[in-house]
Amino acid sequence: MLHDFSWPDQRFRTISLCSGCMIAYHAAMIVDCHVHVSADTPEHGFLSPRVRDSLLFRFMRWRLGLTWEDGAAAEGDVAAKLAATIAGTEQLDAAVILAFDAVYDSDGRFDRERTHFYVTNDYVAELAAKHPKMLFGASVNPYRQNSLAELDRCVSRGAVLLKWLPITQNFSPADQECLPLYEVLAHHNLPLLSHTGWEQMLPTLNKHVADPALLAPALERGVTVIAAHCGTRSKLGETDFVPQFMRMAQEHERFYGDTAALNLPTRSYAYESILKNEEVRRKLVHGSDWPVISLPPLSRLGLRASLRLLGEKNWIRRDVLAKRELGFDADYWNRAATLLRLPQSSSRSPDG
């Protein structure tokens, strides 16, 4: 059903909060805060054979028409596909492309064996510098030896958020090691996008860190937190953390949730509760989780609309169109831009 929806038409109005401050409020700028890229060269990152050979990854590669080669060719192919996909989504002004840090042992050493997906901060910063619609989402594992220096470096390179996937990167957001990073995040007003709930694309190394409640120490230190996926299950039988997400969204002013991958049949059950609750609805932030496929939720949109949306081959665009039809309002579309640390240099003119 198409709800009363007005698409924001006034974009890029930039109001500096203070002179000399890098942070600006980009009114009516529409951002997808959750987009992935993969890397396959020694300088930029890698995928483990387990992920590369997985059925889900092969399906994604096939559906997106990506090369079956490895190395630089595969990396370039993904980056080109991503750039074309974002450029083809005129409803979006920008998308946050996420770096993805490795797993580290308790001494802070890079754990190659247990790292299944790795994308360096420098690679994503380079992509963002090259493509005006790409923003740099940094990733720093709190267990790496130089975590604070790396976070500072990312801030100076223009990071708009910090991304974590604790169940895969093997740490808890409640660990002591995270506390100094929270101080830095709060100081720079850099939001934390942290995965909550479960995951299918990447192996789970730590089953005990999926609960959004573990993010409380970040909130207590003044960090803006976006709970990726709103605590959803990735398949039946897993613990559902949507109730915890909703409770925290109502209790903490700075706690938000993104809608990344909610257009998967296994996660779309969350719409029922998060859209019904007005307070929680005001905490939702737009994210697609590309290259995860966006499948319009049949039970909410009906067969005719779902089939029409499936005709849209650009998955980032399809995700926007499906969420428009789900009735997300103008505040939802503009919310990410009010939370991200957007440098003034990323503002563009209305016809830019």
The contact set with Zn ion (CB under 5 A) reads 289
Q: In angstroms, what is the minimal distance from the CB of 2 to Zn ion?
A: 28
Between 97 and 305, CB nearer to Zn ion: 97
Smaller CB distance to Zn ion: residue 40 or 289?
Answer: 289
For Zn ion, the closer CB: 32 or 289? 289
Q: In what order do the strands lie in the sheet with 94-98?
A: 31-36, 94-98, 134-138, 161-164, 192-195, 225-228, 255-258, 284-285
Question: Count of alpha carbons within 13 Å of 11, Cβ hemisphere only?
Answer: 19
* Residue/partner pairs of 1-6 with CB below 8 Å, 24 or more apart: 1/301, 1/302, 1/325, 1/327, 2/325, 2/327, 3/326, 3/327, 4/327, 5/324, 5/327, 5/328, 5/329, 5/330, 6/329, 6/330
Q: In terms of CB distance, is 77 or 289 closer to Zn ion?
A: 289
Residue bearing tokens 């050979």: 53
Residue number, 150 or 289, with CB nearest to Zn ion: 289
Phi-psi sector, 23: left (phi>0), alpha (psi -120 to 50), beta = beta
Which residues lie below 8 Å from residue 301, measured CB to CB, with a gap of 6+? 1, 309, 322, 325, 326
Minimum CB separation of residue 288 from Zn ion in Å reads 9
Residue 332 tokens read as 């939802």
Residue with nearest beta carbon to Zn ion: 289
Q: Which is nearer to Zn ion, 289 or 312 (CB)?
A: 289
d(CA 215, CA 221): 10
Q: CB of residue 165 vs Zn ion: minimum separation in angstroms? A: 7
Beta carbon nearer to Zn ion, 199 or 211:
199
Q: How far is the CB of 199 from Zn ion (least distance, A)?
A: 8
Spatial separation of the C-alpha atoms in residues 316 and 90, rounded to whole Å:
10
Contact 147, 181 (CB under 8 A): yes
Q: How far is the CB of 260 from Zn ion (least distance, A)?
A: 5
Which is closer to Zn ion, CB of 35 or CB of 223? Answer: 35
